[in-house]
Amino acid sequence: MNVHLAALQAAIEPQWYQTDEAFLARVDRLAHLAAASAPEDAALVIAFPELFALPLLFWHRAPEAASKASSALEAAWVWLKSAKGAPFKSITHGPWFFYHWRAEQLWPLYLRAFRETARKYAAYVLAGSLIAPRMDEEPARGMYAVSSKVYNQALWINPQGRILARLEKIRLMPEERRALVAPGEWGGQVVHTRIGVLGALICLDAFHEALIERVDASGAWLLVQPSANPARWEEPWKPDPKRREGEAWLEEGLRKKLEARENLRYGLNPMLTGRFYETSFEGRANVAAAGETLAITPAPTGDGLASFTVAREG
């Protein structure tokens, strides 16, 4: 069995998040790029970047002042002031109210975009993550939040459009803690599928040995690392200024972390690019194996695709 691995590099721009139609079209265009690169007989895995869906919370049908704000915090405050009674509700819900309020509004669109994509292209899809409370759905209540805190979370979706698992980021960047994101828990990082056991660790999680060990021990042959790197690709790497950010990212990333594992053989690293208020993201999406990069995008900005077809037994 052949499996085509596609890591998307996706730039964020306000116009792609402002309406339902724009976001659905954006997700579809990127997925089409991935599917078009696949051999006809191959199963398909499409991975979107970390925080790919976060701008929905800020830019979807946004007040003009929120779109033009100088920071995400300022934009969130604009939203709260625009919602009747929202600042008072925030006292009950806690400082995470903005994420609760907007995520509950936009979760159906988020699900629709990636479920439709998985079905249309018959692909296993790792949906781009966003910041939201844990969500659930049942007939009597519909869709609702089941946690007070919010998490950087993504979804595994199968080719029939079913959610296989929900995974949360466990190891957080300082910027995420300042944005009131809570550390996630283990659960959903590994899924058992018709194409074998698949693993995913969101960005910084995949640089931590203990978490990769756990994915490897689960029997996963693929590790997906959706990422949003808030650093210039060519600037000095902070832990060692003699090395560049991009050089360190690739050398210390998946191709090194996959070496000498019992089960893990391949890695996918989709990357976010573009500017989100005061934060800029750069990175080169890539496909890796132990000790080597199998495919990589040519530049650390803009859209791109890194893809590679592997042969799997069974």
Cα 242 to its chain centre, rounded Å, is 30
pLDDT of residue 91: 44
Cα dist. 129→105, 141, 151, 234 in Å? 16, 24, 10, 25
3-34 pLDDT, tens digit per residue, is 999 999 999 999 999 999 999 999 999 999 99
Could you tell me the pTM of the whole model?
0.95
Tally the domains of the chain: 1
Containing structural domain, residue 295: 2-311
Q: List phi, psi (to 5°) of 212.
A: -65, -40
> What does pLDDT average to over the chain?
93
In angstroms, the CA 253 to CA 225 distance is 9
Q: Which residues of 184-209 are buried (b: 16+ CB within 10 A; e: fewer)?
A: beeebbbbeeebbbbbbbbbbbbbee
CATH code of the domain containing 107: 3.60.110.10
Q: In the numeric block, which tokens belong to residue 103?
A: 């995520």
Contact 225, 283 (CB under 8 A): no
Contact 64, 23 (CB under 8 A): no
Cβ neighbour number for residue 92 with a 10 Å cutoff: 7
In angstroms, the CA 307 to CA 38 distance is 8
44-93 pLDDT, tens digit per residue, is 999 999 999 999 999 999 999 998 899 998 998 888 887 765 554 554 45
Digits of tens for pLDDT over the chain (314 positions)? Answer: 999 999 999 999 999 999 999 999 999 999 999 999 999 999 999 999 999 999 999 999 999 999 889 999 899 888 888 776 555 455 445 567 889 889 989 999 999 999 999 999 999 999 999 999 999 999 998 888 899 899 999 999 999 999 999 999 999 999 899 888 999 999 999 999 999 999 999 999 999 999 999 999 999 999 999 999 999 999 999 999 999 999 999 999 999 999 999 999 999 999 999 999 999 999 999 999 999 999 999 999 999 999 999 998 75
In angstroms, the CA 95 to CA 198 distance is 35
Query: Which distant-in-sequence residues (6+ apart) come within 8 Å of 36 by Cβ?
Result: none
Q: In the numeric block, which tokens belong to residue 40?
A: 């006809």
Dihedral sign for Cα atoms in the order 271, 290, 202, 240 = negative
